[in-house]
Structures are given as C-alpha cells and as structure tokens.
C-alpha cells in the first residue's frame, strides 16, 4: 500500500447545473444547486484514499461551519488529518462551480485558509512527509509552502508530484528542481512552455521543454484523448476510456490521486499506473460533483 501525502487546498464547493454558460451581463436560471466537498488537494487525497493508498493531508481550514464539514468529510475517508490546521482568523476555502449540459465547467475559487500557511508550518509537519512514498501538491496553496514540502521530501528520498493547476506561466526554478513528476493538462502545459499541445508530437515538444526545466517525469493529460507521458527515453499517449461525460469537475484530480495509489516510487509501472488513473477519471466524469463523483478501488476494474 502506497503512503501518499497531499499538501493542498480544501474547499467547500457550491455547484450549479445550467443548460448553458451565462453570458456577461445575463441572468439565467439554474436547474440544480448543491454543496459538496472540493479543493484540488482534498479531491486528490480522497481519490488516493478511495483507490487504496494510506493518505495524509497537510493544509488548513477556517474555524467555521464549512471547515468543520470538510474535516468530517475527510475523516470519513480515513485520511490522516493531523497535518490540517484550523485557523481562527481565516474562512475555509470556497469554490463556485457551474456545469452546463455538455459537461463543461467554470470554476471560481476563494482561497481563504488555503493561503494561511507557509514553510514554517510545513517544517513542523515534516515527519508526515518523510514517511511517505509520494508527496503531491498543486497551485491552490502558497508556492513557498509547496517548495519547502518538496525539499523535505527529496532530502528523504520521497518522490514529488506537482499538479501545476491553476496554470502559472512562471514556475520557480527552486520548485522545479525538487519536482520529480509534473502533471499539467494541455492548457497548463501551453501556459508553462509556450507550446500548444494538440497531438502527440506537440505533447512531446512540451515534455522536452519541461525536462529542460529539470523535471524527470512528465505526464500531460489531454482530456478525452488520454494522458501523454515522457520518461527516461520512452513516450506514449495512453488513450482515455470512451464514456459520456456529464461533469468534468475533479477528473484531473481523480487521475492524479488514483495513479499515485498504485505507482511504484521507481516509476517502473508508470504506464499501468496511468491506465489505472485514466479508468478512475473516466468514472468521475460520468457523475456530478467533485468528491461525490470519485470512485472506490473496487469500482476501478481494468
């Protein structure tokens, strides 16, 4: 069983289902409204835990009702919460998600407590990191905190996985030099490298640029086409499973969390782990909501 530690965001999601996306200055009716657990970090942790990993979380919530709700949700997943701080002067992160009839989404996030911790708080939880097989982080929490977590991980021989979302056109060299694997989608890959990813050839070009930046393992997720990987002289597009998507929220998070649950730290089963992540992600897009849509290990049959 892999030990996975996620350093990341915790949000309470407010979801709206609509026929189509609203235009500027327009008012439309929603078909459905509901709340659910979210945040890229929390989604990835839930996906890893449900896929069988021993999962730990480092992050923060506010001392408010959404924070208590999110801690209860994560605890119910069997996730170790000893690394989550409750901050008295911050509100819990929130996300406002609109999903249309085509399954596309638009998301606005408010960071709140997710930006309320830094390198010192990470240092205080270093034992949670050094006891892991993988440490995963995203860009919904402070970069200095992520960099410190990855530095601690690499010094202990723990592999690091960076999900560069939301996209940033400038990623610090200090962070990239302690990143073992990077997992952008095609849009994020273009933001980082300047190379538009539309097929395997352009994905290879983007991967080469990311290698030049210092990252050994590159996985670029390309929506319904699948996931392209490039590592140690081998590259391939692993096709996605063909399904009818109703909500793409948390699809990428599910992929990363599920993949990390079965990936070997020496990356020798990288393609098989990607295939497992693809299958998990294909199930997520057939359901509504972020964490409610994430499948369990027994459902992910290859």
Residue 247 annotated as binding? yes
Distance CA 207, CA 3 (A): 27
- Residue 207 in contact with residue 220, Cβ under 8 Å? yes
Residue 26 annotated as binding? no
Residue 41 annotated as binding? yes
Given the residues 64, 80, 133, 253, the one annotated as active site = 253
Residue 93 annotated as binding? no
Residue 223 annotated as binding? yes
Residue 76 annotated as binding? no
Residue 131 annotated as binding? no
Distances in Å between the Cα of 102 and the Cα atoms of 96, 98, 105, 285 are 18, 11, 9, 11
Question: Could you confirm whether 230 is annotated as catalytic?
Answer: no
- Residue 111 in contact with residue 87, Cβ under 8 Å? no
Residue 289 annotated as binding? yes
Q: Which residue has the tokens 């200090």?
A: 174
What is the DSSP secondary structure assignment for residue 51, as one 8-state letter?
T
Residue 32 annotated as binding? no
Residue 11 annotated as binding? yes
CA torsion, ordered 270, 273, 277, 282, to nearest 10 deg:
100
Q: Give kind and range of the element (H or E) at residue 110.
A: strand 105-110
φ, ψ for residue 182, nearest 5 deg: -125, 140
φ, ψ for residue 135, nearest 5 deg: -120, 130
Residue 278 annotated as binding? yes
The dihedral through the CA atoms of 58, 59, 63, 65 has a sign that is negative
Annotated binding site: 11-13, 39-43, 140, 185, 221-226, 247, 249, 252-253, 278, 284, 287, 289, 293
Annotated binding site for ATP: 185, 221-226, 252-253, 278
Annotated binding site for substrate: 11-13, 39-43, 140, 253
Q: Which residues are part of the catalytic machinery?
A: 253
């Amino acid at each position: 069983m892999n030990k996975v530690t996620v350093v990341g965001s915790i949000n309470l999601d407010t979801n709206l289902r609509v026929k189509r996306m609203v235009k500027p200055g327009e008012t439309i009716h929603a078909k459905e409204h509901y709340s659910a657990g979210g945040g890229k970090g929390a989604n990835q942790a839930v996906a890893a835990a449900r896929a069988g990993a021993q999962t730990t979380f480092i992050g923060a919530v506010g001392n408010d009702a959404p924070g208590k709700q999110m801690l209860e949700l994560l605890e119910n997943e069997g996730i170790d919460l000893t690394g989550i701080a409750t901050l008295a002067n911050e509100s819990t992160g929130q996300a406002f998600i609109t999903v249309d009839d085509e399954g596309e989404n638009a998301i606005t996030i408010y960071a709140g407590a997710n930006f309320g911790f830094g390198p010192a708080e990470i240092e205080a939880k270093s034992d949670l990191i050094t006891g892991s097989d993988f440490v995963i982080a995203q860009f919904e929490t402070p970069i200095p905190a992520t960099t410190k977590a990855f530095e601690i991980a690499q010094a202990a021989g723990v592999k690091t996985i960076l999900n560069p979302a939301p996209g940033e056109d400038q990623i610090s060299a200090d962070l990239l030099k302690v990143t073992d694997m990077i997992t952008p989608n095609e849009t994020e890959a273009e933001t980082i490298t300047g190379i538009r990813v539309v097929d395997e050839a352009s994905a290879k070009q983007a991967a080469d640029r990311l290698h030049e930046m210092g990252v050994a393992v590159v996985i670029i997720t390309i929506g319904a086409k699948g996931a392209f990987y490039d590592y140690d002289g081998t590259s391939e597009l692993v096709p996605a499973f063909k399904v009818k998507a109703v909500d793409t929220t948390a699809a990428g998070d599910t992929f990363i969390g599920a993949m990390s649950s079965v990936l070997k730290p020496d990356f020798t089963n990288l393609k098989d782990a990607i295939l497992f992540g693809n299958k998990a992600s294909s199930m997520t897009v057939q359901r509504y909501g972020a964490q409610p849509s994430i499948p369990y290990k027994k459902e992910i049959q290859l």
